[in-house]
């Protein structure tokens, strides 16, 4: 059975300072000594959770996407995280899944954080991205999506499940960290899959961030947790563990059928 190694980068972000953030992240990635296959960065890793896309959004031909291509190629890794992207007259909080060969997929955040007025500045996405790597299927989501379990739920058939891992990239404030930790565990248990939640630390113009990045196994057991400090953590996960849990406890076969109206 296949293993998969991923590296979580829990980092402080300089407010609306793309050059500083890209330089700092490059240094952290280049310093990774362990063999890794996927590097996961937080939400809006170039700016922090800014509501100024008119000033900071780039196109898919811009500097940050090229930076991701270079990092992925030079380090022979997949790199993912979200940034502000402009397409025509719309702005998106877009997660990019960049492969070493320069090919990529992307996911536009579905649930915009109206409490922080994200919905006034960005356009919501309407489709999920489930990436495939080494026989793993990975559902890629962003921050506030975590509060909406249907969007992250397995849509399984009688014979197979839809994905083996959920990855959430986030700028999730410290004062709501209990919800963050609880909901990540819930998503792992209900979907019988691995979950990785990658959050930032530090402070922006409004909020404190405590990180609390987590990796959780398909039974809801925490494999990694880090709060209040920067960390670069590499972990190898086993696909066999997902299959074993689903075979021993085939709860997924009893799930309700549902559709999502977009």
CB 194 within 8 A of CB 222: no
Rounded Cα distance, 191 and 137, in Å: 13
Q: Which residues contact 233 (CB under 8 A, 6 or more apart)?
A: 7, 8, 10, 213, 224, 226
257: confidence class by pLDDT, cuts 50, 70, 90: confident
As a CATH number, domain 3-254 is 3.60.110.10
Give yes or no for residue 134 having a pLDDT over 70. Answer: yes
**Predicted local distance difference test score (pLDDT) of residue 1:** 59
Is 118 a catalytic site residue? no
Residues 6+ apart with CB under 8 A from 229: 10, 201, 211
- Each domain of the chain, given as residue ranges in start order, spans 3-254
> How far is residue 58's CA from residue 236's CA, in Å, rounded to a whole number?
33
Reported as a single tens digit per residue, the pLDDT across 30-89 is 999 999 999 999 999 999 999 999 999 999 999 999 999 999 999 999 999 999 999 999
User: What's residue 261's pLDDT?
Assistant: 80
Of 109, 118, 181, 193, the catalytic one is 109
The rounded distance, in Å, linking the Cα atoms of 171 and 45 is 9
Nearest to 215 by CA among 13, 37, 28, 6: 6
Task: Report the candidate in 154, 218, 227, 191 with the shortest Cα–Cα distance to residue 8.
Answer: 227
- 65-79, 157-171, 184-198 — which is least confidently predicted? 157-171
Considering the candidates 18, 58, 69, 143, report the single residue annotated as catalytic.
Answer: 143
Average pLDDT over residues 22-29: 98
Has 203 been annotated as catalytic? no
Which one-letter DSSP state was computed for residue 158? S
Catalytic status, residue 185: no
Instruction: Please write the tens of the pLDDT for every residue from 142-158.
Output: 999 999 999 999 987 77
pLDDT of residue 262: 75
- Of 103, 104, 109, the closest CA to residue 83 belongs to 109
Size (the chain), residues: 262
């Amino acid at each position: 059975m296949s293993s998969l190694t991923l590296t979580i980068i829990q980092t402080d972000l300089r407010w609306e300072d793309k050059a500083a953030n890209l330089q700092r992240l490059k240094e952290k990635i280049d310093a990774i000594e362990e063999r890794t296959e996927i590097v996961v960065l937080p939400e809006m890793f170039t700016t922090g959770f800014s509501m100024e896309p008119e000033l900071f959004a780039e196109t898919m031909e811009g500097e940050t996407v090229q930076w991701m291509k270079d990092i992925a190629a030079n380090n022979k890794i997949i790199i993912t995280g979200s940034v502000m992207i402009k397409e025509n007259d719309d702005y998106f909080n877009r997660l990019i899944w960049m492969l070493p060969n320069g090919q990529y997929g992307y996911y536009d955040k579905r649930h915009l954080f109206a409490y922080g007025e994200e919905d006034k500045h960005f356009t919501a996405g309407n489709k999920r991205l489930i990436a495939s790597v080494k026989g793993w299927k990975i559902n890629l989501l962003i921050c506030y999506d975590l509060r909406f379990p249907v969007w992250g739920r397995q849509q399984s058939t009688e014979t197979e499940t839809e994905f083996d891992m959920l990855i959430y990239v986030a700028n999730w404030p410290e004062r709501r960290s209990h919800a963050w930790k609880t909901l990540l565990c819930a998503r792992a248990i209900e979907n019988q899959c691995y979950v990785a939640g990658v959050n930032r630390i530090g402070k922006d113009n409004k909020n404190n961030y405590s990180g609390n990045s987590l990796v959780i196994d398909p039974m809801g057991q925490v494999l990694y947790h880090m709060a209040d400090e920067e960390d670069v953590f590499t972990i190898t996960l086993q696909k066999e563990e997902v299959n074993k849990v689903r075979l021993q406890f085939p709860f997924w076969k009893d799930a309700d059928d549902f559709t999502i109206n977009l």
